[in-house]
Structure 1
């Protein structure tokens, strides 16, 4: 159990973690811990924002966003950029889309996706009513990752996410339920955020199934970033 937790933190964050054997079984066991990783990320960001609350909102937002990127190692931002380039340059073709995703270079669509997302997140962080709402975006985004893996084929043999296909469906469903209950603890804002996360995840899954017949690590990362931004926006609607 602890090996799966350590692998989840090592894969999704840049936080110090114990060295453990990283194999397919361990990776599969890590999936159910993804929401816990999201909750920890949200807690760290909320604490940072709380400590800096006396400063002007814009500098605080920039610092929190920078910490967000550093804590995750820009893992999901890379997926967003690759997905944007592939979706635009793939011209609707599955093979071309997958090939562009493997290209390490970042094209104009990827750059614009990153800039747009950064502007959206920073602007919404400046207006966030309470730092504790920062618990919701990372939690719901990584809970959605569990649902994506359970319901969607992984299309790259031998890719980073290949080992996740062996995850226990039962324990992962429990993790999803706990994620939903955790969101509902935030009242109407949590319920709205949960609804937004489900809609964004569902829409992106449909797009991935139509274009690729499944998902890749890049599209999973893109989904995380889109859900986080959308949930932040939802927190402003309270």
Structure 2
């Protein structure tokens, strides 16, 4: 039993070290199979990010009940980005540059995604998305609706599982290939997804998750049309966009 617990902790730490900048005690060798198994814990890592944001919110409001919702939203957004190290924002930036500069050409689009430089389109998209998140966060906090913070990052990372189950990964190497080659059994993937959806519905409601599903379906269709699948960058873009859409959808429930 202890060995099984240690194994699960090991794969959880791998997921945590990849998706966040939280220091983790990874011991021993990190195998390709461990990387693949770690995808099961992506929603849990998202929930942990959300829990940190929620506790930070409660701590600030306990100390200062009249704290400005605008300023609090800005603080939360900064911590949110710092916790993830801007990992998914980088994917969003690369995808934005590639989609505009790719001129509807698959190979050109994939080549631009590999370019480490960030163009003006990427900067504009990041600024606009963060502005959208900040505005939605402020409005939700103003409405005293903070529990959503726990489940929004969880849902966005559960979508990574959905995409790996349904969409071709077009790169021949990289972390995505390791994940795809060593995906856990489908039953475990479905269990992780079901737990994420149930938790989201409890904390956030149906309207938000429906809006996210529709937007992600449209983004996936765009990926299939342009590059015939997905890359790590497009996954990052979907994580960021789905979080913004989820926050907007939550405003429908307030």
* Correspondence for 2:116 among 92, 104, 126: 104
Structure 2 counterparts to residues 23-42 of structure 1, below 5 A? 23-42=31-50
* Correspondence for 2:134 among 122, 125, 129: 122
Q: What TM-score do you get using the length of structure 2 for normalisation?
A: 0.90
User: What is the aligned partner in structure 2 of residue 167 from structure 1?
Assistant: 183
Structure 1 runs of 4+ aligned residues shifted over 3 Å read: none
How much has 1:192 moved relative to structure 2? Answer: 1.7
Q: For residues 222 and 115 of structure 1, what CA distance do their matches in structure 2 show? A: 14
Q: In the alignment, is the contact (CA less than 8 A) between 2:152 and 2:200 conserved in 1?
A: no
Q: Is residue 16 from structure 1 mapped to residue 23 from structure 2 by the alignment?
A: yes
Q: Is residue 71 from structure 1 mapped to residue 83 from structure 2 by the alignment?
A: yes
Q: For residues 200 and 11 of structure 1, what CA distance do their matches in structure 2 show? A: 25
User: Which is higher, the Rg of structure 1 or of structure 2?
Assistant: 2
Q: In the alignment, is the contact (CA less than 8 A) between 2:97 and 2:112 conserved in 1?
A: yes
* Correspondence for 2:148 among 129, 133, 139: 133
The secondary structure found in structure 1 opposite 2:108 is: helix
Q: In the alignment, is the contact (CA less than 8 A) between 1:144 and 1:198 conserved in 2?
A: no
Q: Is residue 157 from structure 1 mapped to residue 172 from structure 2 by the alignment?
A: yes
Aligned positions, number: 236
Q: For residues 94 and 118 of structure 2, what CA distance do their matches in structure 1 show? A: 7
Consecutive unaligned residues in structure 2, runs of 5 or more: 1-7
Q: For residues 121 and 23 of structure 1, what CA distance do their matches in structure 2 show? A: 36
